[in-house]
Every structure is written in structure tokens, then in C-alpha cells.
């Protein structure tokens, strides 16, 4: 049976979880889903610098939020490489030039499926088709879903 990993993270990339927020998410996951989620599939990830919260193979297209054109993968990858430093993570100061003539910051692009940037996230592995969208009641939380 295939599984999905959901990653919940603060939408503001530099914010990180405030004290108690990640605990609240983990508690809510356990309370709402009971035995359907094994405790060892819930993990809290913390990094000193901003990381790419990716959706793995679910990422099919990256688009400009202004004109909708696709951003070529090699152009996006070059910007990602230029912006990332091993010790400090992403600076999020690099922009990707679009065919419409505008420069779009990496965290301002439209990722399909959704991806994000954050210093911390809670991941949970569930059986496919198990929906955790109720966690999006928190307006500051973004989420990514990837197949594993
Ligand atoms: Zn554009």
C-alpha cells in the first residue's frame, strides 16, 4: 500500500515554530487520528537555516505567479543552487527571470504540487488518501504532500 508524507510548516520562511506550536500540531495529529497514525511516523524537523520543503516526485511544474508561464527546470535549479549555502540554508535573495520580463523570488513562484521554504516542519507518514487538511485551520501553516 502506498503512503504519503504530509509536511506542515510555518508559511513565513524565517519564522520557525514558536514555542508550543509544533507540540500542538503533534498533539492534534495524535488526538484526531488515534491509532491510525503510528507515533513513530510523526517527526519534528528543525534546521539552523531555511530549507526547501519539497513534495518530491509530485513536483510537476513551476510557474510565474504573474503571467502563469512555466519556469524552465534548469533555470530554477540554477537559482536554487546559487541561493543555497550548506551552513546557512537558503538566503531567499535570488530571483528567477521569467519570460514576461519580471524577476520572481524563489519563494514567490507557484509550485505544482505545492512546495515551500522553512526552517522547521512536522512530517507525518500516512496511508495514501488519508487527508490531514483539517490542520489547515491554522492560517499560518502551509503543507506539502509527497508520495513515499
Ligand atoms: Zn512571468
What is the distance in A from the centroid of ligand 1 to the CA of 66? 5
Q: How far is the CA of 27 from the centre of ligand 1 (A)?
A: 41
Residue 9 β-bridge partners? 142
pLDDT value of position 137: 67
Res 130 pLDDT > 70: no
Q: What is the whole-number distance in angstroms between the Cα of residue 96 and the centre of ligand 1?
A: 10
C-alpha distance from residue 120 to each of 15, 24, 97 (Å): 9, 14, 28
Distance CA 116, CA 50 (A): 10
Question: pLDDT-derived band of residue 54, with 50, 70 and 90 as boundaries?
Answer: very high
How large is the average pLDDT for residues 8-16? 88
**CATH class of domain segment(s) 1-59+115-148:** alpha beta
Q: Residue 27 has what pLDDT? A: 82
- The residue extents of the domains of the chain are 1-59+115-148, 60-112
| pTM of structure | 0.85
Local confidence band at 83 (pLDDT 50, 70, 90 cut-offs): very high
Q: How far is the CA of 103 from the centre of ligand 1 (A)?
A: 8
Summarize pLDDT for 39-48 with one digit per residue, the tens. Answer: 668 889 999 9
Q: What separation in Å is there between the alpha carbon of 69 and the centre of ligand 1?
A: 6
Give the distance (Å) from ligand 1 centre to CA of residue 45: 33
What is the 1 CA–ligand 1 centroid distance (Å)? 40
Nearest to 62 by CA among 52, 77, 44: 77
Query: Mean pLDDT throughout 105-119?
Result: 95
Question: Which residues, 6+ apart, have CB-to-CB distance to 54 below 8 Å?
Answer: 115, 144, 146
Identify the band that residue 38 occupies on the pLDDT scale cut at 50, 70 and 90. low
Distance from the alpha carbon of residue 114 to the mean position of ligand 1, in angstroms:
18
Amino acid at each position: 500500500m502506498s503512503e504519503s508524507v504530509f509536511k506542515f510548516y510555518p508559511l513565513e520562511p524565517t519564522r520557525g515554530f514558536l514555542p508550543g506550536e509544533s507540540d500542538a500540531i503533534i498533539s492534534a495529529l495524535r488526538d484526531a487520528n488515534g491509532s491510525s497514525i503510528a507515533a513513530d511516523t510523526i517527526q519534528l524537523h528543525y534546521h539552523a537555516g531555511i530549507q526547501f520543503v519539497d513534495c518530491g516526485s509530485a513536483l510537476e511544474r513551476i510557474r510565474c505567479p504573474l503571467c502563469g508561464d512555466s519556469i524552465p527546470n534548469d533555470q530554477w535549479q540554477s537559482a536554487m543552487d546559487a541561493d543555497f549555502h550548506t551552513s546557512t540554508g537558503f538566503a531567499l535573495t535570488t530571483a528567477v527571470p521569467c519570460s514576461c520580463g519580471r524577476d520572481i523570488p524563489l519563494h514567490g513562484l507557484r509550485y505544482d504540487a505545492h512546495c515551500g521554504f522553512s526552517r522547521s516542519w512536522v512530517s507525518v507518514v500516512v496511508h495514501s488518501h488519508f487527508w490531514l487538511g483539517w490542520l489547515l485551520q491554522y492560517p499560518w501553516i502551509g503543507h506539502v504532500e509527497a508520495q513515499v
